[in-house]
Structure 1
Amino acid sequence: MTTNKFNDGFGNKAEAFEEADNAVLSPKTARTFGDIVNRRYGRRDVLRGALGVTAVTALFGTTALTAATQARAATPAFAFPELESGNDTRHHIAEGYDADVLIRWGDPIFPDVGPFDPQAQSADDQLKRFGYNNDYVGFVPLAEDGSHGLLCVNHEYTNEEVMFPGIGRQDKKDFADMTRELVDIEMAAHGGSVFEIARGADGKWSVVLDSPYNRRITALETEMIVDGPAAGHDRMKTAADPDGTRVIGTLNNCAGGITPWGTYLMAEENFHGYFWTDTLDADGKPVLDRADAESLKRYGAPGRWYNWGQHHERFNIDVEPNEVNRFGWIVEVDPMDPASTPVKHTALGRFRHEGSESIVNADGRVVVYTGDDARFDYVYKFVSAGTVSDDRAANMKLLSEGTLYVGRFNEDGSLDWLPLVHGAGPLTAENGFESQADVLIDARLAADALGATPMDRPEDVQPGPDGKVYMMLTNNTRRKEGQEDAANPRADNAFGHIVEMIAPDGDHAATTYAWNILVKCGDPAVAEVGAQWGPETSEHGWFASPDNCAIDADGRLWISTDQGSNWAKTGKSDGLYALETEGALRGSSKLFFRCPVGGELCGPYFTPDQTTLFLAVQHPGTDGTKNFAGFERNSTFEDPATRWPDFQDGMPPRPSVVVVTKQGGGRIAV
């Protein structure tokens, strides 16, 4: 019996299961963010641009009222010639800059490893090489002049159809060609890489293969400590770990963060897809006749995106029912100590973490922001109980204890942060939360009970200057506001938007913020899209599906995009955009870098001196290749839409980290 439900024309497993995740898992009675905007201003007025002065000021800030002529006279924050948008087999960078490939999937990160041969892969070999689908990139300096440092890179997932020769997309044929050996290679290609890089006399960066800092962190064999309120709880105990305090591996590591004390945070996102069950109904759906069925359903587990559970029993919930509770956390890694054991911090809650960006509050406490990347899910922040000090070892315990909050957006432009604390409000034993461990293991259910605001896929959440926090809302094609028609596309939000949250007096520990919409994405030339941009946004500068972001040393906001197969709706590949956040040009955007076809842009991360920018190009040659003119078919290992970045016969497309520098040297976009 086939168990695949996705005979839908998607070119790869990742696209198919992302669409499957369109299913609404949060309560249908909860208000969407769109409902809040529409109640606050009036839905038709928002979308036809007929807002009055009061509404415009509240929604987009006072600078939105500045005349376009004044905007053109203003000085842009970003000094670079805009790149032309488009989509082809190569990557492109703005004039005056170089974008060099630093490291690719399969490249060695240890000195005793030879050249990569995709025809001769093994798990043992992959453990010594850069992993697959690089997502988050962080840089920890080793020298004051920024000439060398440690690069910390997440490896989110694998695309077997372009990774392994001859097998094609496996979810369509019940993983018939996936062997234990191939599964172990996948597991070894997940996780993260930490390695030293150095800048040469010519200004170019390279990997230091013999560095003592270099290490791989994988789903296959890396042991991790569990700490915080859920550590040792019965729901965290397994046959292999009866104490509930040790876990093997991390997976689906999407975005992340570098802490103020120089550790590396890895966010576990779509963990549900890695779990398996053999108990299916006639439609191939999991039968969840068990006590934790509500929890599993709320997280979409078991997703059966991978067949790891057929070869490793811990990923089969029929055999090991609690292993699923041990994923979906934030992992802290000390890159300065390659022998250190990573820590899963349960105090930060369990959900599909997109990232984990932190800031030291004025009172010394550390605040970590993170989004739950699913349609109709929530945005969270964690506030530590302790304060940052000069004691690095003590700082590395700050994420073990504190308060997790979830956001509720109000019609009056205020944002309430609601504490997920056992015994507070509905978070009691009577409602199924027996302890703080239950609240954190089932953070989604706890947030539902508190009445948090369902968002349109909250991804990266980045704190910036003056108490402002930027949240990327990628899209939500299932959002309904009571009406759907061509003139009202935000009821089917295919393009996403960016929300600016403002902490009062810069106090990130405050429980009430203000909020604005910075931009509503999509093509401003198409009236029914309802896009809203700053006055200097060109045909090349507007974008769709904001995903990751970074704030450079000058406090400027950079946005990377992830359209998936929907790039055909814009005609643009994913890329990196510079977005104005202040003054007369607020909301104006410029294109700086773009990916090869089928690729997603991740990262981005600047060195402290802003002379180098690291970008991650994920899954090149995969997404939406049926819409790529002249190719118009799904990519495979043997027949990919692009062979970026090598362009060598027999070499498949390879996810890679790119280093951007200014020709002749100097700070980027200055």
Structure 2
Amino acid sequence: MTDCENTQEQTPKQSPDHPPEQQEQSINLQRRALFKAVGGAAAVASGAALLPGCSEPKSRQAGDDLGFTEISHRLDFEHHLPDGYHADLLLRWGDPLDAFAGKFVPDRLDATEQARRFGYNNDFIAFMPLAPDAGPGEGDRHSLSRNSERGLLCVNHEYTQPHLMFSGYTEDSANRGTSHEHIAVEQQACGHSIVEIEKTANGWLPVTGSPYNRRLSLTTAMDIVGPAAGDQRLQTGADPSGTRVFGTVGNCAGGKTPWGTVLIAEEGFGGAFQGDPDNVADEVEARNHHAFGISTDNRNWGDYDRRFDISVEPNEPNRFGWMVEYDPYDPDSVPRKLTALGRFEHEGFTLVTKPGQPVVAYGGDDDEHQFVYRFVSSGIYRPGDSAHNRQLLTEGTLYAAKFNEDGQGEWLPLRFGHGPLTEEQGFRNQADVLIDCRRSAKLLGATPMDRPEDVETNPVNDCTYVMLTKNKKRKEGDEHTANPRARNTAGHVLEIVPPGRSGERDHASDSFHWNTFLLGGNPNAENPAERGAYGQQHPGNISANGWFANPDNVAFDQRGNMWIATDGCESFGFHDGLWAMATEGELRAAPKHFFGCPEGAEICGPEFTPDGKTLFVSVQHPADGDFSTFDKPMHRWPDNDPDLPPRPSVLAIRRKDGGLVGS
């Protein structure tokens, strides 16, 4: 097994197959290739941080198991897969979850009907296996199951687009004001869906009417737990206790726990609120509302539901922007908002759990110049002790990352009384530190990043990878080794290497090493902000279709290969999609193009079954583009039915011969 420990040195260990002088020559070539790719003084300053990280020579060539035939860059109205693959159309917006919902007729959709149907703009996916002989409520038995042919598909619904959902709107007119009837539908179409699915002779199918099937929407009651629960800033007229809220919104990515629960993120929640922050009497809340983009120009949800009007309920936004945990195996369970994990625009939080050690969770704040975070639980993980484990995410310490110029890094604790997080800076208690997480991280000196999205740990090499989508706001002279490009239009990926060996890494350590894993963009682009660098050990391994831009979500297969989903490739002239690559060996960071979306869409939430033979993906906002509307859409994927609009959908991708996806 290849270890990541070599990244804590300035040069790789010597290999018997490569004499020291050859290794030094190779390293110099790597440096020159990457300096050329990045351009300018920022690349020179990055030095060791651009060297290969989780990699050293090994007998089996990592990446050889990615044997699929690469697809080409293109842009059309269909989705695309390699030869030998098939995609089951598993779930679409409006598909029924109960046995009596009937046919989807969008013109007759109301809030009650939408509450019985799959939501809009599907994003994060978690596949939670169902044990053959267990029933609802038996989460412990289910969470230990490795069944790959029956399970619960747990899917986020990030946001709504009324101009593609209802007749009579353009994008501009919907932003100026949507009818109350349609807002009610939207509030039921966002949130989260839990759907039982099974693999049959005819492919993957939903089990309509399953007792597990349910929706979490903006009318679902949820508890608020952790250090900020009950704080005065979470109290409202409807909830003077500050411990119970209705709903979740802006649900982007998420995570899973080994004790059988699912984590879902609240990201772009600010857009659900309307009003002028400058008219809010409390200066702290006014600043807070500005930070999350609340304005009079936002959608008019507050006209329909007054709690989304900050002139009526100035504290209501503080009850959003958290991570939500729920039990998919218990349809009667109440979701919980976990304030210990901080409040910001969560892309997601993913866990590292090792017996007898604290739980560590990694996440990013999906906005320009925001931060990468880590949570370390106060208690330790005990396999099989569900009652104990379900409290681990309610108490612990949240940290923000500081990426030093020399390739070293440190985790800065967001703890009341630590450093500048004091009453002199306006913090009353730990609740303030967590509610105003962005301000806390900035005051501590965390590194502002190029829009951190998914952050996940590779279970094979035990290193953590940060997707940095882009940052057009980074100015010349504001480059940093961890963010080396001004006006970064293509994004990049960082690799975090905790101390220790693979499988034994100390993710709770307050220090780490980091590397630039790859730079998104065209390797041959003239503009340095769009010029990519791939396959750092052997740059020639990148194909004409292997390069991509704007990494967003990431997943790892059972062999440790990285699968990156993109959001923004259409600005480079081709579809968004999915690229697979090794994280070690000679093919490290050399992507292969596996999946392409229909025009106007992005791909989200890649998720494998435990046996690696099915890959679920979300195709979000198909046909989204200039002048595309419900009445005159760009196209009508996936149904291609003149009576139906384009519909966000979940696909289940399989090899036709039943083999491992990607091989």
Provide TM-score, normalisation by structure 1. Answer: 0.86
TM-aligned CA deviation for residue 361 of structure 1: 3.8
What residue number does 1:207 align with? 206
8 Å Cα contact 2:47-2:406 kept in structure 1: no
What residue number does 2:450 align with? 456
Matches of 2:174 and 2:54 in 1, distance apart? Answer: 51
What residue number does 2:245 align with? 247
TM-aligned CA deviation for residue 65 of structure 1: 11
8 Å Cα contact 1:160-1:170 kept in structure 2: no
- Paired residue type of 1:161: H
**Equivalent of 1:381 in 368, 374, 385:** 374
What residue number does 2:513 align with? 514
Matches of 2:62 and 2:197 in 1, distance apart? Answer: 39
8 Å Cα contact 2:355-2:380 kept in structure 1: no
Matches of 1:215 and 1:585 in 2, distance apart? Answer: 43
Aligned to 2:126, the other structure's residue is in SS state strand
What residue number does 2:225 align with? 227
Aligned pair in 2 of structure 1 residues 638, 75: CA closer, same or farther (>3 Å)? Answer: closer
- Paired residue type of 2:96: P
**Equivalent of 1:343 in 336, 340, 344:** 336
Aligned pair in 2 of structure 1 residues 127, 416: CA closer, same or farther (>3 Å)? Answer: same
Aligned pair in 2 of structure 1 residues 54, 170: CA closer, same or farther (>3 Å)? Answer: closer
Matched, 1:407 2:401: yes
TM-aligned CA deviation for residue 43 of structure 1: 11
TM-aligned CA deviation for residue 73 of structure 1: 8.4
What residue number does 2:345 align with? 352
- Paired residue type of 2:389: N
Matches of 1:323 and 1:63 in 2, distance apart? Answer: 44
What residue number does 2:550 align with? 545
- Paired residue type of 2:68: F
Aligned to 2:128, the other structure's residue is in SS state strand
8 Å Cα contact 2:614-2:661 kept in structure 1: yes
**Equivalent of 2:583 in 576, 581, 584:** 581
Matched, 1:475 2:470: yes
Aligned pair in 2 of structure 1 residues 64, 509: CA closer, same or farther (>3 Å)? Answer: closer
8 Å Cα contact 2:158-2:249 kept in structure 1: yes
Aligned pair in 2 of structure 1 residues 235, 375: CA closer, same or farther (>3 Å)? Answer: same
Matched pairs, number? 603
TM-aligned CA deviation for residue 225 of structure 1: 0.2
TM-aligned CA deviation for residue 42 of structure 1: 14
User: C-alpha deviations, 1:353-387, integer Å up to 9, x for none?
Assistant: 00111110464321111100000000001111112
What residue number does 2:17 align with? none
Aligned to 1:98, the other structure's residue is in SS state strand
Provide TM-score, normalisation by structure 2. Answer: 0.87
What residue number does 1:7 align with? none
Aligned positions of 1:259-408 closer than 5 A:
259-277=257-275, 279=276, 287-291=279-283, 292-302=285-295, 304-361=297-354, 363-389=356-382, 390-408=384-402
Aligned pair in 2 of structure 1 residues 607, 303: CA closer, same or farther (>3 Å)? Answer: farther
**Equivalent of 2:105 in 117, 122, 133:** 117
What residue number does 1:530 align with? 531
TM-aligned CA deviation for residue 243 of structure 1: 0.4
What residue number does 2:440 align with? 446
Matches of 1:190 and 1:615 in 2, distance apart? Answer: 18
TM-aligned CA deviation for residue 72 of structure 1: 13
TM-aligned CA deviation for residue 530 of structure 1: 3.0
**Equivalent of 2:255 in 241, 253, 257:** 257
Aligned to 1:439, the other structure's residue is in SS state helix
What residue number does 1:141 align with? 129
8 Å Cα contact 1:71-1:584 kept in structure 2: no
- Paired residue type of 2:608: F
Matches of 1:317 and 1:74 in 2, distance apart? Answer: 53
Aligned to 1:335, the other structure's residue is in SS state coil
User: C-alpha deviations, 1:19-48, integer Å up to 9, x for none?
Assistant: xxxxxxxxxxxxxxxxxxxxx999976624
What residue number does 1:59 align with? 50
Matches of 2:193 and 2:158 in 1, distance apart? Answer: 11
8 Å Cα contact 1:137-1:614 kept in structure 2: yes
Matches of 2:333 and 2:103 in 1, distance apart? Answer: 28
Matched, 1:78 2:66: yes
Matched, 1:165 2:160: no
TM-aligned CA deviation for residue 87 of structure 1: 0.8
8 Å Cα contact 1:272-1:303 kept in structure 2: no
Aligned pair in 2 of structure 1 residues 64, 396: CA closer, same or farther (>3 Å)? Answer: closer
8 Å Cα contact 1:361-1:509 kept in structure 2: no
Aligned to 1:526, the other structure's residue is in SS state coil
What residue number does 2:189 align with? 189
Which deviates more, 361-370 or 413-422? 361-370
8 Å Cα contact 1:134-1:155 kept in structure 2: yes
Which deviates more, 372-381 or 209-218? 209-218
TM-aligned CA deviation for residue 49 of structure 1: 8.8
What residue number does 2:423 align with? 429
Which deviates more, 651-660 or 42-51? 42-51
Aligned pair in 2 of structure 1 residues 286, 172: CA closer, same or farther (>3 Å)? Answer: farther
User: C-alpha deviations, 1:409-432, integer Å up to 9, x for none?
Assistant: 001111110000111111111111
8 Å Cα contact 2:408-2:513 kept in structure 1: yes
What residue number does 1:282 align with? none
User: C-alpha deviations, 1:147-193, integer Å up to 9, x for none?
Assistant: 10000000000111111011222457621xx2211111000000000
What residue number does 1:32 align with? none
**Equivalent of 1:561 in 566, 584, 587:** 566
Aligned to 2:616, the other structure's residue is in SS state strand
What residue number does 2:236 align with? 238
**Equivalent of 2:660 in 634, 651, 667:** 667
- Paired residue type of 2:485: R
Aligned positions of 1:120-131 closer than 5 A:
120-131=108-119
TM-aligned CA deviation for residue 303 of structure 1: 6.9
Aligned to 2:230, the other structure's residue is in SS state coil
TM-aligned CA deviation for residue 311 of structure 1: 1.0
Aligned pair in 2 of structure 1 residues 409, 654: CA closer, same or farther (>3 Å)? Answer: same
Matches of 1:45 and 1:519 in 2, distance apart? Answer: 13
8 Å Cα contact 2:167-2:630 kept in structure 1: yes
TM-aligned CA deviation for residue 301 of structure 1: 2.6
Structure 1 gap segments, 5+ residues each: 1-39, 280-284, 627-633
8 Å Cα contact 1:467-1:508 kept in structure 2: no
8 Å Cα contact 2:280-2:310 kept in structure 1: no
- Paired residue type of 2:524: A
8 Å Cα contact 2:236-2:313 kept in structure 1: yes
Aligned to 1:253, the other structure's residue is in SS state coil
What residue number does 1:33 align with? none
Aligned to 1:124, the other structure's residue is in SS state helix
What residue number does 1:47 align with? 38
Matches of 1:369 and 1:171 in 2, distance apart? Answer: 39
What residue number does 1:10 align with? none
**Equivalent of 2:494 in 489, 499, 502:** 499
TM-aligned CA deviation for residue 393 of structure 1: 2.6
8 Å Cα contact 2:151-2:198 kept in structure 1: yes
Aligned to 1:665, the other structure's residue is in SS state coil
Aligned to 1:366, the other structure's residue is in SS state strand
TM-aligned CA deviation for residue 305 of structure 1: 3.0
What residue number does 1:6 align with? none
Matches of 1:168 and 1:662 in 2, distance apart? Answer: 40
8 Å Cα contact 1:146-1:608 kept in structure 2: yes
